[in-house]
């Protein structure tokens, strides 16, 4: 059985710190709520990672837009 938490007068719960850290849940994150067979499940919403390709060479042009240091061979 899991850890007990309380629901406040506005229906809010606090997810214990150890679970937030374990599952990478941060303030402002969204959770899906599912009701299945008398149980409530909270699942973090994860954004898919998109690969971007700009056609620049990594060694000399990677940081032109950000103002960071560029690398020379």
Each residue's pLDDT tens digit, 39-70: 999 999 987 766 666 665 555 555 555 555 55
| Average pLDDT in the chain | 79
DSSP tag of 66: T
Pair of tokens at residue 52: 């971007």
Closest CA to 59 of 73, 48, 47: 73
Does the model's pTM come out above 0.85?
A: no
């Amino acid at each position: 059985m899991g850890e007990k938490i309380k629901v406040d007068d506005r229906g809010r719960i606090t997810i214990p710190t150890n679970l937030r850290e374990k599952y990478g849940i941060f303030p402002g994150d969204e959770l899906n709520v599912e009701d299945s067979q008398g149980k409530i499940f909270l699942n973090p919403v994860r954004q898919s990672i998109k690969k971007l390709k700009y056609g620049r060479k990594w060694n000399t042009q990677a940081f032109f837009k950000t103002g960071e240091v560029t690398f020379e061979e």
